[in-house]
Amino acid sequence: MSVWNVIIIGSGPAGLTAALYAARAELKPLVLGGVEAGGQLMLTTAVENFPGFESIQGPELMQKLTAHAQKFGAEVIRKNATRIDFGARPFKIWSGEESYQAKSVIIATGASAQWLGLESETRLRGHGVSSCATCDGFFFKGKRVIVVGGGDTALEDATFLTKFATQVTIVHRRDVLRASKPLQRRAEQNDAISFKWNRQVVEVLGEDRVTGVRLRDTTSGEEETIETDGLFVAIGHKPNTELFAGRIELDAKGYIVATHAGTHHTTTNVDGVFVAGDVEDARYRQAITAAGAGCKAAMDAERWLAERGEVERRTMLYGQ
């Protein structure tokens, strides 16, 4: 069985940028892109904050990134990694019964937004239901939106959305916010923001677009309907790290720990395994920051391989 120089797990902006850089360094990388390839951008509509693209549909951007990496020799396959063994070298990764071996691995499995789990929420995703205020806020100019959640993300999103929406209502299931005090103060002082306490969204209303939500009072059980043009779900993200639990160091929230965080390196506690993107980054979570991290991970992997005489060094790593 052939041993790949580098296998990249994940095909969002981090994984595909890592693939592009690794391919251009002639590492001939393999991308295990997942059955649902493309990451979170596959769930968004127009992307207007990826430099160089004034406006592009999320899936089209992912198609372009895939084609770009393939053009330089990356092999991208739509299979899920289902099991890994980082305990022996070469590393071993399975997709079902099939297995692959690699000298180095870049983990770029991303994170998934938590959703409320309503059928109506799934149906109207991309049609007024969003989990990304930074991506989609612009489309709600002059409109009314609801933000669900009581944490930092919900309050930050709500404040951000007042740049566009005329009316932002935060719906929280309790009457106490989890968010930090400064964010709470900023939201409370913003006239465009109001709160609905002790409320759970039980249905998103609308046929082709969101027109309202049905709320249930979590204390009395009473229900009410309110009109809105958009629903932003901000109840947290979860890193896609189930596969790695017990095999690589994770933090308390399940994110992979980059051992040299703060020095901008992408190494993990397993020598030869690198990490990039939202699976490691709970803070920025942008396509462009993930892409940048993918670039760094590929350069770190290449350097690591070259130092061990596994490959000839192709790219320059500045002053290191």
Per CB under 6 A, does 150 bind ligand NAP? yes
Q: Cβ of 319: how many Cβ atoms within 10 Å?
A: 4
Residues annotated as catalytic are 132, 135-136
Other C-beta atoms closer than 10 Å to the C-beta of 73 total: 15
Q: According to the binding rule CB under 6 A, does residue 282 interact with ligand NAP? A: yes
Write the DSSP symbol of residue 139: G
Q: From CA 5, how far away is CA 282, in angstroms rounded?
A: 28
Cα separation, 281 vs 174, whole angstroms: 28
Which range binds ligand NAP by CB under 6 A, 5-13, 61-69, 150-158, 266-274? Answer: 150-158
CA dist 192 → 185, 189, 222, 227, 235 (Å): 13, 9, 26, 16, 21
Q: Which of residues 175-194 bind ligand NAP (CB under 6 A)?
A: 178
- Restricting to residues 17-76, name those near ligand NAP by CB under 6 A: none
AA letter at 63: Q
Q: Is 131 in the site for ligand NAP (CB under 6 A)?
A: no
| 156 versus 229: smaller Cβ distance to ligand NAP | 156
DSSP code string of 260-272 = TTTTT--B-SSTT
Structure tokens at 254: 């399940």
Selected from 121, 136, 156, 302, the binder of ligand NAP by CB under 6 A is 156
Determine, following the binding rule CB under 6 A, whether residue 126 of this chain makes contact with ligand NAP: no
Rounded Cα gap, residues 16 and 8, in angstroms: 8
Task: Tell me: does residue 239 bind ligand NAP (CB under 6 A).
Answer: no
Q: By CB under 6 A, is residue 235 in contact with ligand NAP?
A: yes
Binder of ligand NAP out of 68, 173, 186, 238 (CB under 6 A): 173
Tell me which residue has tokens 């690794």: 22
Shortest Å, Cβ 37 to ligand NAP: 25
Q: Running DSSP on this structure, what letter comes out for residue 122?
A: H
Choices 15-23, 145-153, 269-277, 289-297 (CB under 6 A): range interacting with ligand NAP? 145-153
Our finding on whether 152 is near ligand NAP (CB under 6 A) is yes
Site residues (CB under 6 A) for ligand NAP? Answer: 116, 148-154, 156, 173-174, 178, 235-236, 282
